[in-house]
Amino acid sequence: RALRGGRSSGGAGSGGGAAMDLFGDLRRMNKRQLYYQVLNFAMIVSSALMIWKGLIVVTGSESPIVVVLSGSMEPAFHRGDLLFLTNFHDDPIRAGEIVVFKVEGRDIPIVHRVIKVHEKGNGNIKFLTKGDNNEVDDRGLYKEGQNWLEKKDVVGRARGFLPYVGMVTIIMNDYPKFKYALLAVMGAYVLLKRES
């Protein structure tokens, strides 16, 4: 029986065969197809960037979505929970709110609860935070000599969350090789995907 398209649909091949097929597909593409696939990939990346920038504008937060990286806020939030943040400067910070803040000298923002607020007559607000699962407040985490946070330190305030959705991010941070392999597979898929 003749095979359509000149290829058989045989059983599973070896892992090396799959890699050879990938490079074979790349060689068989003409320049026009390759340019089209590269442009397609660039559009996906730029669309994701535009959505992210749009979320920044709508929420007022420089990081509208963050992943909880530690268990310091259990049982309210667990490691891997995805938090949605807003940061509207008109809203006053109140005790009991969960805020994400940056401390000078630390790259990764911290998610903790506001436990005390000092509001002065001129409108300046200073506040103290603590993790629900921690024994002591966060003064030990702040920069040396800093006893209170100010509004400028706040990245956002938690408005909602999805449980454990951020575990993929944690796995990619803990195992960088997995991250690069996943990115390579996604890039190859987009580049080699044919329009039907």
Report the distance separating Cα 179 and Cα 149, nearest Å.
34
111 and 44 together in one domain: no
35 and 46 together in one domain: yes
52 and 33 together in one domain: yes
Does a structural domain hold residue 9?
Answer: no
28 and 40 together in one domain: yes
Catalytic residue among 112, 137, 153, 196: 112
pTM of the predicted model as reported, rounded to 2 decimal places: 0.70
Residues ≥6 apart with Cβ < 8 Å to 164: 78, 80, 81
| Statement: residue 176 has pLDDT above 50 | yes
Domain assignment of residue 41, given as a range: 24-59
Residues ≥6 apart with Cβ < 8 Å to 146: 103, 104, 139
89 is catalytic: no
Please provide the average confidence, as pLDDT, over all residues in the chain.
83
72 is catalytic: yes
Per-residue pLDDT tens for 155-167? Answer: 999 999 999 998 8
Neighbours of 18 (CB within 10 A): 10
Catalytic residue among 61, 81, 138, 153: 138
Report the distance separating Cα 179 and Cα 128, nearest Å.
36
The residue count for the chain: 196
CATH for 136: 2.10.109.10
53 and 124 together in one domain: no
Tokens (6 digits) for 16: 């090396």
Nearest to 108 by CA among 66, 151, 148, 72: 66
Q: Percent of the chain scored above 90 by pLDDT? A: 49
Catalytic residue among 72, 81, 174, 196: 72
Nearest to 85 by CA among 25, 23, 155: 155
How many domains does the structure of the chain reveal?
A: 3
25 is catalytic: no
